Amino acid sequence: MGDRQVRVLAASVRAVRRRCEGVVGAEVLERDGLVLSLTNVPEPSLNSAYVEREPSDPARALAWAEEEMARRGHPFGIDYPAARWPELDRAVRDAGLSRALSRPVMVAEIASVPDAPVPAGIRIEPVEAREDALALARVDATAFESRLEISELAFAPAILGVEGARGFVAWQGAEPVGCAVAQEGSGATGVFGVGVVPSARRRGIGAALTVVAIRAFPADLAWLLPSDMAKPMYERLGFRELETWEVWTRPA
């Protein structure tokens, strides 16, 4: 396992812990290398198990995590680097879980990322007040075709006033048209939720937001989990694949 893999995993676990800090009723539970990041918002992707280190007893740790999530009414899911820990991989399969999602982790040396000019007529501002956070939530819901109430309950509160997290909104006049979130951790800045509303796409707003986000904290490395649509943009900024992470869930 390389140094970058170690740093990015540590940063990712800090990020999923941090996302619960501003959410009312959220919980973080830990046992034997597993971390349950539970916003307790009714959205499966915001309630999941993560792996901070290899469990000493993977089967038992998985059973504990599933039981705790079931008590709160959440379907079970675990998000972790595939093929890093063979014993954990075996336990996941033996538990009858199914792979729901596979995506690359991409990294870039921040010093080598080129500038991305902000398009004419657009300004990018940090989230500093509740109104800004709600604007970010509106963009997030529109860009990713998700429910606005979920973004308002879980995404926006996890940014405003939470140490180590910063949100950014791209504005066109008085209208929010883009958003991005930066998370600090282990000298590696994570970039999340880079989104642009459909009417403002293909103008370079996403790239400009990404560059602003990766420079939000003192760090030498940036990392992210790209969508298929955004991956070419990140490649143009110098991001390259590091490894593959997978999400495994209990079939309905």
Tokens of 124: 């990018």
CA distances from 209 to 99, 161, 194 (A): 31, 20, 7
Tokens of 127: 């989230």
Those residues with Cβ within 8 angstroms of residue 228's Cβ, 6 or more apart along the chain or in another chain: none
pLDDT of residue 251: 86
Query: Which of 77, 116, 111, 71 has the alpha carbon at shortest distance from 221?
Result: 111
pLDDT of residue 2: 85
pLDDT mean across residues, the chain: 96
Helix (H, G, I), strand (E, B) or coil at 5: helix
Confidence tier at 228 by pLDDT (50, 70, 90): very high
Is 109-243 a CATH 3.40.630.30 domain?
yes
Tokens of 206: 């996403």
Share of the chain above pLDDT 70, in %: 100
CA distances from 46 to 25, 37, 226 (A): 13, 8, 17
Same fold, 3-104+245-249 and 109-243: yes
Query: Which of 146, 79, 134, 120 has the alpha carbon at shortest distance from 208?
Result: 120
- pLDDT tens digit sequence for 135-194: 999 999 999 999 999 999 888 888 888 999 999 999 999 999 999 999 999 899 999 999
pLDDT of residue 252: 76
Residue pair 39/19 in contact (Cβ under 8 Å)? The answer is: yes
Q: Note the pTM of the prediction, 2 decimals.
A: 0.95
pLDDT of residue 101: 95
Domain boundaries, the chain: 3-104+245-249, 109-243
Distance CA 68, CA 76 (A): 9
Query: Which of 141, 127, 202 has the alpha carbon at shortest distance from 171?
Result: 127
Amino acid at 218: P
Inform me whether the pLDDT recorded for 83 exceeds 90.
Answer: no
Confidence tier at 1 by pLDDT (50, 70, 90): low
pLDDT of residue 155: 80
CATH class of 3-104+245-249: alpha beta
- As a whole number, mean pLDDT of residues 104-108 equals 98
225-233 long-range contacts, CB within 8 A, separation 24+: 225/103, 225/104, 225/105, 225/106, 225/192, 226/103, 226/104, 226/106, 230/194, 230/206, 231/104, 231/106, 233/206, 233/207
- pLDDT tens digit sequence for 108-141: 999 999 999 999 999 999 999 999 999 999 999 9
